[in-house]
A and B are shown apart, each in its own frame.
Chain A
Amino acid sequence: MGVGASIAEFSVKRPKLVTAIMAQLTIMLALLAALPSIWPETFKSLEPLKVDTDPENMLPADEDVRVFHDNMKKEMSLYDMVVVGIVNEKHPDGVFNPVSLAKIEELTKFAKGLRGEALFGEDLSADDPRRKQGVIEVDIIAPSTVDNIRQENGAPKYEWLMRPTPSTPEEARAVRSKAQRIPFLNGTLVSENGKAVCMYLPLTSKDLSYKVYSKLMQKISEFDGDEEFHVTGLPVAEDTFGVEMFKQMAMSAPIAMLVIFLLMLVFFRKIALIISPMIVAMVCVIATMSLLVITGNTIHIMSSMIPIFIMPIAVLDAVHILSDFFDRYQATKDRRATIISVMDTLFWPMLYTSLTTAVGFGSLALTPIPPVQIFGIFVALGVVLAWVWTITFIPAYIMFIKDKSLENFGTAHHAGEPEANSALARLLAWTGRATYNHAKLVMLGVAAVTIVAAYGMNRIRINDNPIKWFTKTHPIRHADAVLNRHFGGTYMGYLALEATLPDETPQQYAEGLARRLSDRARELEDAPKQREAMELLSLTAEQLSQAAESSGQVLSALEDLGITSQDSAAEAEDDQAYDAWDEALAFVALEQSLDQIFKRPDVLQFVADLQTFLPSIRRESDGAKLVGKSNSVADIVRTVRREFLSGDDSDYKIPATTNESAELLMNFQTSNRPRDLWHFVTPDYGKSVIWVQLKSGDNNDMARVVKAVDGYVQSAGQPPGVNLTHRWFGLTYINVIWQEKMVAGMLQAFLGSFLIVFLLMTLLYRSALWGLLSMVPLTVTIALIYGAIGLVGKDYDMPVAVLSSLSIGLAVDYAIHFLSRSREAYKRHNSWGEAVGSVFGEPARAIARNVVVVGVGFLPLLAASLMPYKTVGIFIAAILLVAGLASLLILPSLITLLERFLFPKTKKCCLICNCTTCIVSTVAVVAIVALNVHQFLEVGWTKTAWMSLIAVIVLAQVCFFVGRSKMCRMEVPLTDEGEEQ
C-alpha cells in the first residue's frame, strides 16, 4: 500500500479527529489575526491588520530612488496633491463666468477647511496630531489662492488672482486673461483653451486622499448646473484603489466560489460531496490570510489577491479526487475502498502538482519587490496547506456521507447513459485517437502556433499605470482623461537639478580667493582706498584658509568684515572709504553668487532651454506629445522681470546678471506667496526642480521622457564651470523604477521556478526526458498566453507579470496528472496505442472538468471595477484552458512520437546512473544555484557564468564516472521498476 493510501486510511478511520484538528487550527489562526485588529488595545502584543495601498511600497523604503524622492519632497516642500478639475462645456466662456467661478470659490473654501475634525469627522483632542492633518491650506493652488503679478498703469503689482469673486462676465473673463499671462498658471490652473480650471490640493500625507476625495465628492454633489467636476491625481487613484480593492475582495472571491460550486454541482450532482472542496478552499484562504496578518505583513494590492489565487488551486486537487471518486464509486459501492484507492492513485501526482505550484509562487520571493515576495510566499504556503487538507480532510469528509446518500452517485446515476458515453467523454476519446493517429500533424500545428506566439511575445509592451487599474468608466479614470485633454497634464514628474562646482577643499578655495583678491588689489593702484580694502580681504581670506569649513563660511566672514568696515567709514564720514568698501563687497557678492548657481544667467538659460526641449518629446508609437508643460525658477524670474520692466513679452527673458536675478527673486518674495519659490529652488540656490507635467501616467511614457532628457542634457553641454547633474523623482517616476525591477526580477523568478519544476519532474519520473516532456505544455501555454498579450497589445503590467508564476503552477499540474496516468496505463497495456484509450477515459475527464470548473469559476472577476482583477480573471481562465488543451494534445502526440525512448524495455537501476539525466539535472542545479548567487550575493553575470561552467564540467565528469561504476552496469526491466504509484 502506498503512502497515499495509508494517509487516506488514517483519515477514513478517524474522520472526526482530522476535521477537528483542521477546524481548530483554522479558528485559532483566525482569532489570532482578528482579535488584535478588532481590539487593538486589549491585544497589544499581537499584530493587527495593516493595510497598505501605496504602490510606492512596491520598492523597499530604503531603495535609493525612494530615499531621494522623500528627501527632495521634503527639501522642496512638495506634497502629493489631489487634483480637482472644473469644466464647463456649455458656457461660451467656459468656467470663466460669475456663476461657475462662485462655485469654484465655494469649493476652494470648503477644501481649505478639510483638515482635523472637519476631515476626520470626529472630535479630536487638542494635542491630537490629526488636528493638523489634511489639506495644506497655504499651498492650495486655486483661483483665489494664487498670486498674480501684473502692471497697473506701469506699476508692477502682486495681487490675488481672484479676490473678490467676479460679479460680471467681464471680470470673470479678466481672471482668465490674467491667469493665462502667468506661465506658472497657464496650463496648470487655467486650461489653454480657457474653458476649465484646475485646483491642486496638497495633502500632509497621501493616505488621506480618499477621505479628501470623498468629502469633495459629497460637496460637489450639492452643486447643480453646467459645470462638471473631476477629482483625480495619483494619490487619489492609489488610495481609492485600496478602498475598492477591499470591496472587490469581499465580492469577487465569494462569487468565484459560488460559480465553482455550481459548476461542480453540474458535474457531480451531489451537494453534500462538493461542499468538501469549498471547505478546503475556505480553510486555506482563512488560514493563509490570518498568517499574513499575524506575521505582521501588510495587506497590499498584491496580497489582497492571495485568496483569489489560492482558491482555484485549493479546489483543483479536490476536483481530481472527486472526479475519480465519481468515476469509480459505482464499481465497488464502497466509499471507503473507493476513496483509499483514489487517494493511492492520486497521492504522488497531487504531491508533485502542489510542490510545483508552490515552487512557482515561492520563486516570486526572488523578485526584488517586497509585496510580490510576500504574495509569492504566502500563496505557496496556501498551496501547501491546500494539499495537506485535501489529502487528509477530503477522505475524512467522504466518511461523513452515508453510503445511502451516495447510492446514485456517479456513472450509475445515468442508467441509460454511462458516463463513458457522455458528450465530454466522447469528445475526449476522439481527441485521444486523433493525437495517436495524427501525432505529427498535431505537433506541426503546435509548432506553427508557437511561432506566432513567439512573434507576439516580441511585441510585448511593458507598461503600467495606476490610473489604468480602474476601468474606463470609473469616475477617476474619466476625470483623468478629461483633465489631461484640457491641461498640461496631471502626472507630475519632478526633475531635480543639482549643481556641483569643481572639486576644491574649502582651504583651497580660501587660498584661491585670497589670490584673486590680491590680484584685484594690484589692478587698483590708482585707487588706494579700494586697494586697501581688497588687500585686507585678501589677508583675511588667507588667515581663514586653515580653519575654513566651507567656501560659504569664508565668504560670510569677509562679508561681515566688509559691512563693519563700511559702517565705520560711514561713521567717519569718509565717503571714499565707503565707496571702496562698496566695491569690495560687490566682489564678495559675486563670489557668493558663484555658489548660488541657480541665480546665474547661464544656468537659468540652461534650465529654460531644457524646458523648451521638453514639449518636443513624443511617444515613439503614435507621436503623441508627452509633456504638456513645465514650471521652473526660470519661469518665475522671467515673469517677474517682464512685469518689472515693460510688461511686454519682449522683457520675458533671463536676466543679464546674477544680481539682477537676485533682486528680481527678492522681489518675488514680497508677493502673497513667497514660499512658492522654494518649491523650485533651495534657499541656497544650489538645487533646483523643474515640474514636468506629463499627459500620461504610463510608465513607458515616463521612461521615454527620462531617456530623451538624458540625451538632451548630454548633447546640450553644461554651462561653463558648473557640473549639473539631473535626477528624477515623483510618483510617476517611482512607478517606472519598480516596474523595471519587477520585469527583471520576474524573469529571474520565472527562470528559477522553471528550473526547479524541471528538476522536480526529472526526480518524479527518474528521467530527464520525462522531465522535459512534462515541461512542454507549460512552455507552450506560457508562450501562447504572453504571445497573445503581445498580439492584442495589452500592457505587460504587474498582474500580468505575476500570472507567469501561476501559469507554471497550473500548467504543469495537468501534465503531471496526464503523464502519471499515462505511465500507469502503459504498464497495464504495454503499448501506447492501447493505453491511449484508457488515458483519455477517466484521467482526461478529470483534467477537462478541472479546466471548466476552475476556469469558468473565475470569469465573474470580469465584472470587477478594477482592472487587475479583470486581468487575473481572464488570464486564469485562459491559462487553464490553454494548459488543459496543451496537455491533452501535445503530450499524447509526443508520447506517440517518442514511445521508443520514453518506454525503453530496460532502464538503469538508479536515477544518477543515467548519464543524460544526470548531466541535464546537474546543469539545471547549477543554473538554479547561479541564479540565486547572482541575485543574492550580487555577483556579476560574467563571473557567475564562468563559475557555473566550471561546476558543470566537474559534475558532468562525476556523472560520467558514476554511470560507469559497477552499480550502474545493471539494467533492470522497466516493468519491474518500483514505480512511484
Chain B
Amino acid sequence: MITQTNHLLAIGLFLVLAAAIASAGEDPGQTADQLTADEIVDNAMRVSYYQGADGSARVKMTITDPQGRVRDRELSIIRRDDLPKDEEDKNDEFLGDQKFYVYFKRPADVRKMAFMVYKHVNAADDRWLYLSSLDLVKRIASTEERTSFAGSHFFYEDVSGRNKEEDVHELLQTTKSYYVMKNTPKNPDLVEFAHYKTWIHRKTFIVVKAEYYDDKGEKYREYKAVKVEHVQGYPTVTRARMTDDRIGGYTDVEYSSVKYNIGLPDKIFTERYLRKAPIKYLR
C-alpha cells in the first residue's frame, strides 16, 4: 500500500510505531526489500498521520514570501483516529477515518478561529469552520484538496494526508537509506503536478523529501523534513520546509509539545467544542 502523503508530514505530526515493520529482530533492510510499493506507502502513511491512537502538537508556521516578507501562524492541532467502536488497534495498523481539530492562536486577530475535519478514507471529508468574530460555525464544502493551508505553501492535503488511492505508486529505486517512489496521479486534471517523487526512509518510513514535477519534467515544489525526533518512541518530524518555485518563497513549520496517546475524548470533535475550545487539549 502506499501513500500519498509524504509531504504531508509536514504538518502532520502524528507518528506511529514503525515497530510493526521492524519486528522480530529481523534486519529491517532485508524485510523492507521485500515490501511492495503499496506496503511502503502504507507504512509511510502510518508514520506520517496515524502514529498512536491520537496526538496533539503546537504548530508554528513561518511563511516567507518571494520578497522575503515573513508572516507567522501559530495553531494547535489535535487528531484522533476514528476506530470503529468494537475494534481494537493493538499494532497501530489503523489507516482509516480520523478527526482533526485545528485551533488558531496567531495572528492575534484570528485567535479562537477553529477548524474541524472528519477525514473519511472512502468519502469526501466533512469540514467545519468556526469564526469567533461572528460566533458562527459554518460547514465547509470540501471538493478542493489542494487549496492553501492558511495562506502557507502547504496544501490542505499536505496536512490531512493525500488519499493514497489517488495516485499510482512505483518504487523507482532502493538506495542505502531510502525508497525512492514515483507517484503519478490517476486523474491529472485534479492536481497541478504531473507526478511527484518521495524519499522514504527505509528504517523509520519517514518521508524525508518530496519533489513535485510539472508536465515538462521540471521540479517546482519541494518538501523537506529538516528535523526528526523520537517522541514517546515514535519517530516524528518536528521541523520541515515546503518550497514552491512557482509561487516563490517557502514555509517553515515547526512542531512542539508533540504528544501521542493522550486519550482525547470523541466528544470534543463537535460543534459545541468549536465554540468553546477544548483548552485542556490544545496547549
Contacts and interface: CB of A to CB of B under 8 A. Distances in A.
Contacts of A660: 131, 133-134
Contact of A137 (B140, B141, B246): B246
A973 interface: no
A671 B109 contact: no
B109 A596 contact: yes
A562 to B, nearest CB: 8
A571 B109 contact: no
Interface stretch (A155-163, A402-410, A513-521, A921-929): A155-163
A670 B131 contact: no
B138 A644 contact: yes
Given A592-B108, A657-B133, A670-B150, A158 B144 contact: yes
Nearest to A587: B108
How many A residues touch the partner, as a band?
35 or more
Contact of A163 (B67, B189, B247): B189
Chain A contact residues: over half helix, strand or loop, or mixed? helix
B111 A586 contact: yes
Contacts of A592: 107-109
B69 interface: yes
A725 interface: no
Nearest to B129: A667
A674 B106 contact: no
Interface string B120-160: 00000000010111101011111110111111000010000
Contacts of A662: 107, 109-110, 133
B233 interface: no
B111 A674 contact: no
Contacts of B259: none
A532 interface: no
Nearest to A678: B65
Given A559-B106, A563-B105, A659-B133, A155 B189 contact: no
Interface string B175-208: 0000000000000010000000000000000000
B279 interface: yes
Contacts of B65: 675, 678, 683
Contacts of A152: 141
Nearest to B143: A159
A570 B141 CA distance: 33
A616 interface: no
A748 interface: no
A908 interface: no
Contact of B141 (A155, A573, A599, A664): A155
A563 B106 contact: yes
Chain B contact residues: over half helix, strand or loop, or mixed? loop
A465 to B, nearest CB: 32
A123 to B, nearest CB: 13
B113 interface: yes
Contacts of B71: 683
A664 B146 CA distance: 19
Interface residues of B, number: 43
A733 interface: no
Contacts of B148: 669-672, 674
Nearest to B63: A683
A865 B234 CA distance: 73
B92 interface: no
B29 interface: no
A658 interface: yes
B216 A113 contact: yes
A164 interface: yes
A159 B190 CA distance: 11
A659 B109 contact: yes
Contact of A157 (B106, B134, B140, B247): B140
B283 interface: yes
A170 interface: no
Given A156-B140, A563-B106, A644-B138, A669 B113 contact: no
A575 to B, nearest CB: 7
A589 interface: yes
A570 B280 contact: yes
A663 B104 CA distance: 10
Interface string B236-252: 00000000001100000
Contacts of B156: 670
A156 B141 contact: yes
* Best-surrounded residue of A592, A660, A682 (most CB of chain B within 10 A): A660
Contacts of A113: 216
A575 B150 contact: no
Contact of B108 (A155, A571, A585, A677): A585
B28 interface: no
Contacts of A159: 143-144
B283 A570 contact: yes
Contacts of A158: 144, 147
A643 B139 CA distance: 12
Interface in B228-283: 246-247, 279-280, 282-283
Contact of A138 (B110, B149, B246): B246
B66 interface: yes
Contacts of B282: 570
B139 A154 contact: yes
A570 B140 contact: no
A674 B153 CA distance: 10
B74 interface: yes
Contacts of B67: 74-75, 77
A659 B141 contact: no
B271 to A, nearest CB: 14
A578 interface: yes
Given A669-B150, A672-B147, A563 B74 contact: yes
B219 to A, nearest CB: 12
Interface in A139-190: 151-160, 163-164
A137 to B, nearest CB: 6
A671 B147 CA distance: 5
Given A74-B67, A157-B143, A655 B133 contact: yes
B108 A674 contact: no
A160 B191 CA distance: 11
A153 B122 CA distance: 21
A163 B145 CA distance: 14
B140 A672 contact: no
A666 interface: yes
A153 B144 CA distance: 16
A592 B282 CA distance: 24
Given A666-B113, A669-B150, 18 more contacts: A153-B141, A156-B141, A563-B105, A570-B280, A578-B279, A586-B108, A588-B108, A592-B109, A596-B109, A659-B132, A660-B131, A660-B133, A662-B107, A666-B110, A667-B129, A669-B151, A670-B147, A671-B147
9 contacts: A138-B247, A160-B144, A570-B279, A570-B282, A573-B280, A660-B134, A669-B148, A672-B146, A683-B65
The 5 closest A-B pairs by CB, nearest first: A669-B151, A157-B141, A589-B108, A662-B109, A660-B133
Interface of A: 74-75, 77, 113, 137-138, 151-160, 163-164, 559, 563, 567, 570-571, 573, 575, 578, 582, 585-586, 588-589, 592-593, 596, 599, 644-645, 655, 657-660, 662-664, 666-667, 669-672, 674-675, 677-678, 682-684
